[in-house]
Chain A
Amino acid sequence: MSDLNAQMLERYRNNFLEEVEANVEEGEWVKMCMQCGVCSGSCPLGPYWEHPPQEIFMMIRAGKRDEVLKSESMWMCTSCYNCIVRCPRGLPITHIMHGLAHYAERLGLAPKQNPTRRFALMFWDNIAKYGRVNEALLSLKLYFMDGFSTGIKRALEMAPVGLGLFKAKRFNPMALIAHKGCKGKKDLQKILAKAREIELAKAAKFGG
């Protein structure tokens, strides 16, 4: 094969699509997108996305690894499922968006200050630790996410809601001190550690 041929082959070899197919949840669907655009038009948050889903699928196929994984776009997804319902090819778009966000985070490429990412991490740490969400702690952390003074302000704003929940026995402030969580927390943590190990080994094949 001539040099030119080899060069062209290298240029068009799409490692990123293969990487997405191997590592991203439902990633094998990306190649099925026919670029009709109904997902982007149907997204209620569509105007706020830098790259709508349809564009992200095309960027993956064009091998734009950094642009996709460092993007804030897929973090905008609110799981309304409008895109899945309307997609003429039945792509699980919502799941792919979450899969991409998850994969970007795993590789440490996700935008650090993205609020959805920060909340997702908070949620994850909470549930991974207890096996069951400590809601009292989670909401407290959410209020104080952006510093002490805004935290106090938000907590005061939400106080009537908290009181209402407390009266209706839907909220137990004692959980802040003593949250039981699930049985066998240690085992759960072992399982999660093993899963992470497997995922990282898979990603490492693609230079992640």
Chain B
Amino acid sequence: MSEPVATNQTILVVGGGISGMTAALEAAECGKQVILVEKSPSVGGRVSQLYKYFPKMCFPTCGLEINLRRLKANRNIRLLTMAEVTRLEGEPGDYTATVRIRPRYVNENCTACGACAEAVEAEFDDEFHFGLKKRKGAYLPFTMAYPQRYVLDPRILGTEDAERAKAACKYGAIDLDMQEQTVELKVGAVVWATGWKPYDAARIQPYGYDRFKNVITSVELERIMDPNGPTGGRLVRPSDGKEAKNIAFIQCAGSRDRNHLKHCSRICCMASLKQATYLREKFGDEGKATIYYIDIRAIDRIEDFYARVKADPNVSFIKSKVASITEDRATGDVILHGVDTEGYHRYSNRHDLCVLAIGMEPSVPADQFPTELVVDENGFIQRDPANGAIFAAGCSEDALDVNRAVQSGTAAALKAIQVVNRVAGTEG
């Protein structure tokens, strides 16, 4: 790979999710030079892992596709995948970023024909599907991946599988000698958009995520709904493959809790309301959703979505933070225990499946940024002059939904453009 050329007028965007892509595209479409760095083998981020997104209930295949087309068409963006920023030094208008690029072992000749995946035997947990499914040692990260190019899992290197993959490729795309590279980039401004990760559900001990098969997280449910997902899009529960027609949703699983994440993750209420509609989509009148909540925070413009879901007689709401979950070993059903706030009734309710509306925490822990950044107590990057020309976008800045993440990405791009314009002014 040739070393990307960059100057003090270049904008570095870290993270190729919806916020980073937006920031990169907005800046590039204004004529600025942009380098987009993404850690995984494909751009798309968390949005690509959704089945549908609220409030319009469209598929990411559509919304993301628009951005991918813009990305492919734009000559001002250089995309580095499997790359991480390991060091970032300097000041506004003059930063040096050290980027480590992991080897993909597949070069530009790849046509994504899939012959290598067929030849390889080793299987690993599929990260894209949160390990609910296996993938081969040579794989395409997901159907819509961009670049549309296969990846070799480094764990098959040095095994017969690596040779089998190489032999199967008709285009000479597999290069087993590819090495890790480290490059230094000069940039004028940085947009930091490393996004979020789901909170570790196993740490919410009373809910038994690590003990009961039929307790899953909201992000896992998105994968189960995906036609290309672990169940082929059938809404079934993990323990026995039975159709999950009676689903409990637990809100604030990890959020608004001093024992876990202090902040409100903001998307989870809407996510559960959205997922409640999946039941009607799959089972019609037979699907029943029960949402256990402290209070529903369907923010401003999407309140009407809440009203619509609430009007569905098959969706019920119980005002109570569930105290604990037990499992009926004979059937695999989950039983939720607690006391509701509207009348203080003690309940033990049986459900086919329990979905934890899991909270969102910043992907990068506060002490692991490659440079010093001002973050709040929850690890989100602040708008602080001390951060110089490093601007947070999307969920690096706050817990945001897709719509707000895009706005945040655009805002960060505008701030970065101002910095490089100033540089251009002084450099003539």
Q: Which residues of A contact B (CB under 8 A)?
A: 34-38, 40-42, 46-47, 51-52, 54-55, 85-90
* Minimal beta-carbon separation of A82 from chain B (angstroms): 9
Q: Are A52 and B339 in touch, CB under 8 angstroms?
A: yes
Q: Which of B252, B323, B324, B337 counts the most chain A CB atoms within 10 A?
A: B323
Partner-contacting stretch, out of B22-30, B190-198, B254-262, B367-375: B254-262
- Please give, as numbers and ranges, the residues of chain B lying within 8 Å of A51 by CB-CB distance: 344
Whether B321 contacts A37 by the Cβ 8 Å rule is yes
- Given contacts A34-B294, A54-B341, A55-B344, are A42 and B258 in contact (CB under 8 A)? no
Residues of B within 8 A of A (CB): 206, 252, 256-259, 294, 319-324, 337-341, 344, 346
List of B residues within 8 angstroms of A36 by Cβ: 252, 294, 320-321, 341
| Candidates A46, A85, A89, A90; contact of B339 at CB < 8 Å | A46
List A contacts of B339 (CB < 8 A): 37, 40-41, 46, 52, 54
Give 24 CB contacts A-B under 8 Å. A36-B294, A36-B321, A37-B321, A37-B339, A37-B341, A37-B344, A38-B322, A38-B323, A40-B323, A41-B320, A41-B321, A41-B323, A41-B337, A42-B324, A46-B346, A47-B346, A52-B344, A54-B344, A86-B206, A88-B252, A88-B258, A88-B259, A88-B321, A90-B259
Task: Indicate whether A88 sits within 8 Å of B341 (C-beta atoms), given known contacts A36-B321, A37-B320, A38-B321.
Answer: no
Count of chain A to chain B residue pairs whose CB atoms are closer than 8 Å in the complex: 63
Q: Considering only CB atoms, which chain A residue lies closest to B294 in the complex?
A: A36
Q: Collect the chain A residues with CB atoms within 8 Å of residue B323's CB.
A: 37-38, 40-42, 86
Q: How far is the CA of A90 from the CA of B262 in the complex (A)?
A: 11
Among candidates A38, A40, A85, residue contacting B344 with C-beta atoms closer than 8 Å: A40
Q: Nearest-CB distance from A58 to chain B (Å)? A: 8
10 cross-chain pairs, A with B, having the tightest CB-CB distances, nearest first: A41-B323, A41-B338, A36-B321, A88-B257, A40-B339, A42-B323, A90-B258, A38-B321, A36-B294, A37-B320
Instruction: Report the separation of the CA atoms of residues A87 and B337 in the bound assembly, to the nearest whole angstrom.
Output: 15
Residue of B with least CB distance to A36: B321
Interchain nearest-CB distance for B378 vs A (Å): 15
Give A135 to B323 CA distance when docked, in angstroms: 38
A26 CB to nearest chain B CB (Å): 16
CA distance A31 to B400 in the complex (A): 29
Chain B residues with Cβ below 8 Å from A89 are: 258
